[in-house]
């Protein structure tokens, strides 16, 4: 087993939760399953352990099951029934398989709160007639429909908007910051209040884009567990929510209050308009963010991120006089921790645990106004001084 990265991140989590008003946490996007071809795995027990660590609840649904979803949906329903209220099940269906609507109806009758659709994994389009039938069923039950809207698919927002108009009592959630459509979708959302966006994504440009450009009542916190983790997801997205200027009331709605109402079939909360663009970025921090983004891209592609990480270190070496010296120092400390803890991925995870430290460093570069834990600031400044000393010695 590698390092307990959650333990390293807990001081950050506690500090940002305090700054955000200690919101209750209800995760809109988690998975369980053992057969996904992408090699990620998660048992109900593993999911519950990660949720208990941050006292969160979650929507849960099956991972990709190439053999069909009947048994997997039953497993999700059983996990929810045995979780003492911590889990709420969604069913997952393959629209191109026979009986998809009947399977969704069976699961809704058994207690599922909605339906998960994955156009990339199941290779279907949102324009297909069965998708309309599934959304019609959700409209009938005032249920949620959570749709993959991340990488690997063409734009699907136009069909989602069309369906939202035809079926206004269906609660349609576009996952992964709706990165497939956010460029234009944000301006359409005020006229489509039954369309929501979940925050299950890693890059601060997209997460901040959602928090700044989308009304908070149409944003739902989500981790994408096991691809993300509830602790790191809450930490990172709360930093973005604070950077965007959300109030404690709005944060409480994003992180649990709105989802509670949606799964109960109640009327949604009105949390006010989108706050608009965030404060200007610091150009020196933006240099760090650019190099860390390049490093993450290399790592995700199975390449070597060291060159880009080296450039990020050099970009962060601003010294003590910069107004955000503590943020640069914390980034350097996180890069040191990454090097200390880097190890091959654990079975069923697909990505090194220490890579989570790189994502947090990237988030820090775009959220300098959110709190840093005192112990982190002190250690980070020590790392910054050591970095400066190494640079002077090299010269």
Q: Are residues 50 and 145 in the same domain?
A: yes
In what helix (H) or strand (E) does residue 253 lie, and over which residues does it extend?
none
* Position 378 in a domain: yes
Give the whole-angstrom CA distance, residue 12 versus residue 33: 30
pLDDT tens-digit map of 227-286: 999 999 999 999 999 999 999 999 999 999 999 999 999 999 999 999 998 778 899 999
Give the whole-angstrom CA distance, residue 70 versus residue 19: 43
Q: Are residues 303 and 347 in the same domain?
A: yes
Q: Are residues 24 and 91 in the same domain?
A: yes
Structure tokens at 148: 């993959």
86 compared with 377, residue with greater pLDDT = 86
In what helix (H) or strand (E) does residue 95 lie, and over which residues does it extend?
none
Structure tokens at 346: 């654990």
Q: Are residues 258 and 288 in the same domain?
A: no
Q: Are residues 310 and 255 in the same domain?
A: no
What is the extent of the structural domain holding 214?
8-263
Q: Are residues 153 and 247 in the same domain?
A: yes
What pLDDT is stored for residue 352 in this prediction?
80
Give the whole-angstrom CA distance, residue 287 versus residue 311: 9
Q: Which residues is 117 bridged to in the sheet?
A: 147
Model pTM score? 0.93
Domain end marker among 234, 263, 292? 263
Q: Which residues is 225 bridged to in the sheet?
A: 30
What pLDDT is stored for residue 383 in this prediction?
58
Signed CA dihedral, 64, 68, 74, 77: sign only: positive
User: What is the dihedral angle through the alpha carbons of 67, 68, 71, 72, rounded to the nearest 10 degrees?
Assistant: 100
* Position 122 in a domain: yes
Instruction: Give how many domains the chain has, as a whole number.
Output: 2
Which letter does DSSP use for residue 257 in this model? I
Q: Are residues 99 and 203 in the same domain?
A: yes
pLDDT tens-digit map of 86-144: 999 999 999 999 999 999 999 999 999 999 999 988 988 888 999 999 999 999 999 99
* Position 2 in a domain: no
CA 190 to centroid of chain Cα atoms = 22
* Position 222 in a domain: yes
Percent of all residues in the chain with a pLDDT value above 90, rounded to a whole number: 80
Q: Can you give the CATH number for the domain in which 38 is found?
A: 3.20.20.140
Q: Are residues 250 and 368 in the same domain?
A: no
Domain end marker among 263, 295, 330? 263
Query: What are the DSSP E strand ranges found in 98-198?
Result: 114-117, 144-147, 171-174, 195-198
CA 124 to centroid of chain Cα atoms = 24
Angle at 287 between CA 286 and CA 292, to 5 degrees: 95
pLDDT tens-digit map of 8-62: 999 999 999 999 999 999 999 999 999 999 889 999 999 999 999 999 999 999 9
* Position 275 in a domain: no
Q: Are residues 227 and 305 in the same domain?
A: no
Q: Are residues 190 and 86 in the same domain?
A: yes
Signed CA dihedral, 286, 287, 290, 296: sign only: negative
Cis? peptide before 226, omega within 30° of 0:
yes
Q: Are residues 179 and 314 in the same domain?
A: no
Structure tokens at 217: 């009542």
Q: Are residues 255 and 302 in the same domain?
A: no
185 compared with 156, residue with greater pLDDT = 185
* Position 89 in a domain: yes
* Position 274 in a domain: no
In what helix (H) or strand (E) does residue 71 lie, and over which residues does it extend?
helix 70-81
């Amino acid at each position: 087993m590698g390092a307990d990265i959650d333990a390293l991140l807990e001081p950050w989590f506690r500090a940002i939760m305090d700054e955000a008003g200690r919101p209750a946490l209800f995760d809109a996007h988690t998975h369980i399953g053992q057969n996904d071809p992408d090699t990620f795995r998660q048992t109900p027990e593993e999911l519950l352990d990660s949720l208990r660590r941050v006292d969160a609840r979650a929507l849960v649904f099956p991972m990709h099951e190439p053999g069909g979803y009947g048994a997997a949906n039953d497993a999700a329903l059983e996990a929810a029934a045995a979780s003492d209220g911590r889990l709420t099940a969604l069913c997952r269906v393959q629209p191109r398989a026979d009986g998809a609507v009947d399977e969704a109806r069976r699961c809704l009758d058994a207690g599922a709160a909605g339906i998960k659709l994955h156009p990339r994994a199941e290779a279907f389009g949102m324009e297909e007639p069965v998708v309309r039938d599934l959304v019609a069923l959700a409209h009938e039950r005032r249920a949620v429909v959570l749709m993959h809207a991340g990488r690997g698919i063409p734009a699907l927002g136009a069909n989602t908007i069309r369906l939202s108009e035809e079926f206004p009592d269906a609660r349609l959630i576009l996952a992964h910051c709706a990165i497939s459509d956010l460029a234009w979708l944000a301006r359409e959302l005020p006229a489509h209040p039954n369309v929501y966006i979940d925050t299950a994504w890693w890059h601060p440009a997209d997460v901040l884009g959602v928090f700044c450009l989308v009304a908070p009542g149409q944003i739902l916190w989500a981790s994408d567990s096991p691809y993300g983790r509830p602790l790191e997801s809450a930490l990172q997205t709360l930093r973005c929510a604070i950077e965007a200027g959300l109030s404690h009331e709005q944060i409480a709605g994003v992180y649990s209050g709105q989802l509670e109402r949606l799964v109960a079939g109640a009327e949604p909360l009105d949390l006010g308009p989108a706050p608009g663009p965030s404060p200007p970025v610091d150009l020196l921090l933006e240099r760090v963010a650019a190099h860390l983004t390049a490093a993450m891209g290399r790592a995700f592609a199975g390449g070597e991120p060291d060159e880009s990480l080296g450039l990020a270190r050099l970009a962060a070496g601003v010294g003590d006089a910069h107004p955000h010296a503590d943020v640069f120092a914390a980034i350097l400390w996180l890069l040191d921790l990454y090097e200390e803890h880097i190890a091959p991925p654990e079975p069923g995870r697909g990505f090194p645990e220490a890579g989570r430290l790189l994502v947090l460093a990237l988030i820090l570069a775009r959220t300098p106004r959110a709190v840093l834990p005192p112990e982190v600031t002190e250690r980070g400044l020590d790392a910054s001084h050591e970095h400066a000393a190494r640079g002077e010695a090299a010269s």
